[in-house]
Amino acid sequence: MQNFDFYNPTQIIFGKDTIGRLAELVPSEARVLVLFGGESARKNGTLAEVLTALGDRHVQEFGGIEPNPTYETLMRAVALVRRDSLDFLLAVGGGSVIDGTKFVAAAVPFAGEPWQILESFGAKVSKALPFGSVLTLPATGSEMNNGAVVTNKALQAKLPFRSPLVFPCFSILDPQKTFTLPESQIANGVVDAFVHVMEQYLTYPAGGLAQDRFAEGLLQTLIEIGPKALATPNDYEVRANLMWVATLALNGLIGAGVPQDWATHMIGHELTAAHGIDHARTLAVILPSLLTHCQQSKRAKLLQYADRVWQLKEGDEQARIEGAIARTRAFFEQMGIATRLADYGLDQADIAPLISQLEAHGMTALGEHRSVTPEVSRAILEASL
């Protein structure tokens, strides 16, 4: 097992009717900015619950954070916080709102041009405002990690950043808040969580026995409950398990001490930035082709994945590997997620600009072996048509 540091200070408050706990979690003297996405949080009553729990604190609202939060929108929130001397942020929404809130938290005290936070992948963050979250969409794990992704429309760039200063102080997870979500968002959440696990698990053996078994359990749980989450939207136990699995998929635990990939995400980010395709759907397109192209370097883990997750024990090794990749694609499609670029209106002519963007953003040596070069990315994209 590799050396590692593991640190996660986020307090999780999980269960039914827990939004009222904000009264004790947010400092009584705080000047709060509540950040959210569209109007669903207001229409379904979640925002009203939040405002009631915050009581007589000074509270302002900032809505309109996009599904892929944009630098342009978030900088308006930064300006508001600076102008009105707000000192505590509260994200109410899914991963995009929480990601955006992390950026705002880091950008408000930042002395230079805040896009440098993204260009440095978070290395230049030296302070951040405290913030919490009320999760309404299980998917990204942003509620219990220190990473975020922001899109700059002007630069047509979607970049990640991480900093130990942008862990949420707390996150409230009430599975009931997922009951009214559209099927497409639930499907995206299941696929997003699944690929998060795969990025940390399907690399090469590193002696992380507990991490492997934990990851395999999360994958099996998603395979079991994913279709149920679509079929029975008001099943509390199913939604509770989905919410917790999505959090565990990216809170740092299963990735501690093992190699990680993330090439699927980096290529997928370019698809979102250039064509507006939902993040999870880009992952569903790229992952099967990446596993096929990189199957020799991932051979041992692919065989383990085939055996332990899909119970593929018959046939020769190549047949089991191909079977595991095919079942992965089939699972995404069972969730209603198309897995080919052509399904999103893209063709061969769209690939060269994507490669140019990967190169412009320094994404030229991706994967656990840093072997996913622009040429490899091109082959993966071509195989995804």
Half-sphere exposure of 16 (CA within 13 A, CB side): 4
pLDDT in tens, 36-83: 998 788 888 899 999 999 999 999 999 999 998 999 999 999 999 999
Label residue 34 by pLDDT band (50, 70, 90): very high
pLDDT in tens, 153-189: 898 888 999 999 999 999 999 999 999 999 999 999 9
Q: Average pLDDT for residues 258-278, to the nearest whole number? A: 95
pLDDT in tens, 197-247: 999 999 999 999 999 999 999 999 999 999 999 999 999 999 999 999 999
The pairing of beta strand 147-152 with beta strand 157-162: antiparallel
| 161 contacts 148 by C-beta, under 8 angstroms | yes
Which of 44-54 are b and which e, b meaning 16 or more Cβ less than 10 Å from the residue's Cβ?
eebbebbbebb
Look at residue 99 and tell me whether its pLDDT is greater than 90.
Answer: yes
- Using CA atoms, how far apart are residues 156 and 169, in angstroms rounded to an integer? 31
Residue 263 has a pLDDT of 97
Look at residue 33 and tell me whether its pLDDT is greater than 90.
Answer: yes
Share of the chain above pLDDT 70, in %: 100
Half-sphere exposure of 19 (CA within 13 A, CB side): 24
- Using CA atoms, how far apart are residues 293 and 287, in angstroms rounded to an integer? 10
Reference 189, options 274, 95, 290; nearest CA is: 95
pLDDT in tens, 77-87: 999 999 999 99
Residue 157 has a pLDDT of 87
pTM recorded for the entire structure: 0.94
